[in-house]
Structure 1
Amino acid sequence: MPKTPPPMLPIPSLQYDLFSHFVTNNDSAISNTIEFWECIPKYFLTPAQIKKVTPEMGQPDPYKWSYQLEGKSYTIIIQPAMLEEDDGSFKAYFPGATEELVEEALKKILSNQHFGIHDPNLRETWVRFTLSMIYRELKAKGRSRNRIQIKRAINIMARCVLTLYQGKKEIWSGSILQDLVTVDREEYLEDTQAYHQARLPLFVSHAIDRIEARQFNYERLMKCDKQLSRWIYKRLIHRYIQADYCNHYHFMYSDLKNSGLLMQSEETSNRKKVHAALEELKQNGVLNFFEVTNVKSKSGKSVCDVKYTISPSGDFIAEQKAANKRRKDNLDKASKENYTIPSVNK
C-alpha cells in the first residue's frame, strides 16, 4: 500500500494553533494528552510476558487484550514489528516502555509549530523530527535513551500494527507512527540529524479538531519511573478535572486492570504494585495523600476489590485549574472564529 505523502508546507489551522498554546509560565514543562488514545493499552507487554506467549520455536503471535472504557467493551490486537537484526535474522518487537517515552517526546515536539502540521481538511496530523531531537528531549527530562534505542523505537512504532475493536466491530487499524518518511536523506534513519516525518493516528487529529487535547505537566509525568504511575497520572488528568483539597477522588483496583499493567501471577503482588505507583505519585508531587480500603467478598473471607481515595497536591490542583482555563479559552476563541466542532463517533 503506497504511503501518504506529508504536506510540503504549513497549513493554516485554528485548531492546531489552539493545540500549540498552553496556559503556563513554562512551556517546556507542558504537553498535551488525548484521553481516548492514551486509554488504548499498547505499551504494557514486558519481555517476560512476551516470552510466555512465544512458541518454543519461532516468533510470538499477535497479542490480544480486552478492556472497558466508559461502559463500552474494547479489544486491542497488537501485531509485533519484525525488525532485521545485525546477523540478518528477524526478531519480533512489541511496543513497550521505551516506545511510550518516545511517543511522549514526539507529542511534545508536535506542540512546537516549527515541527507539526495539522491538515483540517484531511484530518491528518504530521510531526517532523530528528533522532537527535528526541535524544535531547528525553535526556532533558531524565529519561535518556541512546540513538540506537531511539532508532529502534521509531521502527517498532512504525511497523507494529494495532487493531482496535469496539465489541465485535473493528473501528481502527494502524501503527503508532504511520507513513514514516525521511525528508532530507536517502539513508533510512541513518543520519541522526536528518529530518523525518510521520503521520499520527486519527485519534490525535480528531482530538485537535474537537479541541479535546488536555494540557498537563509532562515534566512531572517523565519523572515517574513506573509505567503504572504514568498511567494513573494520565487518568487523573482527564477524570479528576475539579481537583480540590475538599473534593477527594476515588477509583477501584478493578478499573486499573484496563491498563494491562497488572499481570503478576498473584493479586497481592498486583496490589503492592498499585501501592508503589501511588507512593511514587505522592513523592513526585501529584498526590497529597491516599487511602486504601479493601472491599470484601459477600462471605467476608477474601478481598474482591480495592478502593483508592486520593487527595491532590497543591501543584496538581493548580495544574488542573490551568488546564481548565486553557480549555475554556480555546472554546471561546473557537466560538469567536465561528468554528464548528465536528462530531466523532468512537
Structure 2
Amino acid sequence: MTDTAKKKPRRKTVKPVPSEAFRNQQLSLFQTFLGEKDGLSNAVDLWDNTPRFSISRRKQEKLRLAGGFLPISTINFQYRRFPFTADIRPARFKLYGQDGKPTGETIEYYPSAREELIEHALRKLAVEEQAGYFDKPDFRSGCRFSLHQLRTHLIEQGHSLRYDELIEGLEILALSSIEIKGEGDQEDITGSGNYITLVARVNRKDIKADPDSKWLVQFHPLITDSIQKVTYRQFNYKRLMNCRTQLARWLIGQLVLKYTNASLTNTFDMKYSTIKRDSALLESYTRGRDAIAALDGAWAEVKALGVLTSFRKAEQRSGRAKLEDVIYTLHPSVEFAAEQKAANRRQNDDRTKNNTAQQQTLESFMDQPKSTRKIT
C-alpha cells in the first residue's frame, strides 16, 4: 500500500453559508407542517427509495478484502417501475494503535443502520428554525447542530449513541459517496455525491470541553433538489424512529411515498419479490422461507405501530408447488389514512405557494428596468 493510499481524502474548502440561507420562502415551506410539528419530518422521494443503508456490519466483514478494503457496492432496484442502480463507495479510516499513533493500516465502512438513524435525525433537526438552511444560489441545504443536541434527540427517539459513535457515524456519512443512476419518464436521472458533507466540524478535544459546539452539515444534492422543487412529503417521524428493525422502517417509508391514497375503502398490495429487490435488506438470507418469515415479522411490527389494521398474505406457487412469490394485501389504519390525507394536502398547498412565489418573483423582475435586472 502506498503512502498516498493511507491518507484520508483531502477536504475541500467550503464557502460559508450566508445568513439568508437560514430564512427564506423555500426553507419555510420545508419546515412548516400540517399537524403537530414535533412528530413529523420530510420524506424525499428518490433518495428514500434508494437502498443506501442496506449493507449490515456483519455483511461488511464478509465482503472485506485484504488491507481492510471494501469493493464498490452496486445495488440494483426499481423506482417508479424504471431500473436504477446505486454505486456505493465506502469511507476509509486510518487505524491507530494504543499509543494514539497511526499504524499505517486502514479500514473501510459502508453506511448502515446506525448511519441511517443519524441521517434521519439530521433531517429532522433541519426543520427547526435557525437550524436548517437552503442556499439556492449555491444549490445546497443542510443543518447546524451540536453533538449534544443530536445525541439528546436520538435518545428521545429510543436510540442511545455515545459521542464517539456519533462522530464515527457522521464521518462515515461524510466520507462515503453514492451515485444513483436510472431512467425517468422523460429523461435519464443521475445523482452523485457524499451522503453528507461536513462543512464545519469540532475537533475531539473541543468536544470534550464543550459538547454544545456547533457542527454544520450539507445534505446530498437529491435532498436539496427536493426542497427546491417541493417534492418532499411529510410523515410520522416518531413512529419511524420507534421501529425495532431496519426492514420495518423501510416498509413504512415505502407506504408513506407510494400509498398516497390510503383510506379504509382501498387496500395496497406489495410483493415479496419487489421488497427483496428494492430494499436489499433480505439478501443475507440463504433460504427464501427465512426471508419471508423475517418480512412477516416486519409487517407485524408495522401493524403494531399503528400503520395497519391488518394484512394478509397469498402465496403464489408454480405447477410443482414451488413457492414463487408472496403478495401482501395491506389494510390501513384510520390514523395512517388521515396522515396520508394531511400529507397530500400539505404537499398541494406548498406547491401552490411555491408557484405563486415564483410567479410574483418573475413579475417583479420583469417590472424592473432592463439595466437593473439581476438574475440570482
| Structure number having the greater helix percentage | 2
Q: What CA deviation, in whole Å up to 9, does each residue of 1:165-210 have, x standing for no partner?
A: 327x88233211125323x779686653211112111111111111
Match of 1:214 among 205, 221, 233: 233
My pick for the range that moved more, 77-86 or 148-157, is 77-86
Q: Which of 271, 280, 293 is the equivalent residue of 2:314?
A: 293
* 1:339 to 1:213, Cα distance in 2 relative to 1, 3 A: farther
How far apart, in 2, do the equivalents of 1:188 and 1:261 lie? 38
2:77 pairs with 1:64: no
TM-score, with length taken from structure 2? 0.84
Structure 1 residue 82 displacement after superposition: 1.3
Is 2:298 the counterpart of 1:277? yes
Please, what is the CA RMSD of the aligned residues? 2.2
1:335 to 342, 346, 355: 355
Report the 3-state secondary structure (helix = DSSP H, G, I; strand = E; otherwise coil) of the residue aligned with 1:6: coil
Q: How does 1:152-167 map to 2 (within 5 A)?
A: 152-166=168-182
2:119 to 84, 94, 103: 103
Deviation per CA, 1:31-58, whole angstroms, max 9, x where unpaired?
Answer: 1110100111111111221122123554
Determine the structure 2 residue equivalent to 1:176: 195
Whichever residue aligns with residue 80 of structure 1, its letter is P
Q: Aligned ranges for residues 232-247 of structure 1 at < 5 Å?
A: 232-247=251-266
**Partner residue, 2:110:** 94
CA contact (8 A) 1:32 1:216 kept: yes
- TM-score, length-scaled by structure 1: 0.91
The 10-residue stretch of structure 1 (38-47 or 9-18) with the greater mean CA deviation from structure 2: 9-18
Q: Is the 8 A contact 1:105 1:137 kept in 2?
A: yes
Distance 1:94 1:153 in 2: 10
- Name the CA distance, whole Å, in 2 between partners of 1:339 and 1:177: 32
Match of 1:344 in 2: none
Query: 1: distance between equivalents of 2:69 and 2:355?
Result: 52
Q: Report what 2:149 is aligned to.
A: 133
Report the 3-state secondary structure (helix = DSSP H, G, I; strand = E; otherwise coil) of the residue aligned with 2:28: helix
Equivalent of residue 76 in structure 1, options 86, 99, 114: 86
Aligned residues: 337
Q: What percentage of aligned pairs have identical amino acids?
A: 26
Q: Would you say the 8 A contact 1:125–1:199 is kept in 2?
A: yes
Q: Per the alignment, in what secondary structure is the counterpart of residue 20 of structure 2?
A: coil
Residue 10 of structure 1 aligns to a residue whose secondary structure is helix
1:319 paired to 2:374: no
Aligned equivalents of 2:50 and 2:68: distance in 1?
27
For residues 248-303 of structure 1, the C-alpha deviation after alignment (integer angstroms, 9 at most, x for no partner) is 11111111121110111111111111100000001111111001011122x24211
- Distance between the aligned counterparts of 2:112 and 2:41, measured in 1? 21
The residue matched to 1:244 in structure 2 has which SS? coil
Q: Are residues 1:15 and 2:26 paired? A: yes
Contact in 2 for aligned 1:43/1:95 (Cα 8 Å): yes
Question: Of 126, 133, 136, which aligns to 1:117?
Answer: 133
Residues 338, 79 of structure 1: alpha-carbon distance in 2 compared, 3 angstrom cutoff: closer
Unaligned runs of 5+ in 2: 1-10, 361-376
Larger Rg: 2
The one-letter code matched in structure 2 to 1:117 is Y
Does structure 1 residue 307 correspond to structure 2 residue 327? yes
Amino acid at match of 2:249: R
Aligned partner letter, 2:311: F
In 1, Cα distance between the equivalents of 2:356 and 2:81? 35
Give the match for residue 212 of structure 2: 193
Separation of aligned partners in 2, 1:306 and 1:117: 43
Instruction: Give structure 1 stretches of 5+ with no counterpart.
Output: 341-346
Residue-by-residue CA offset, 1:103-154 (whole Å, 9 max, x unaligned): 0100001111211110123321121111111101111111221211111100
Cα distance in 2 for partners of 1:9, 1:91 equals: 38
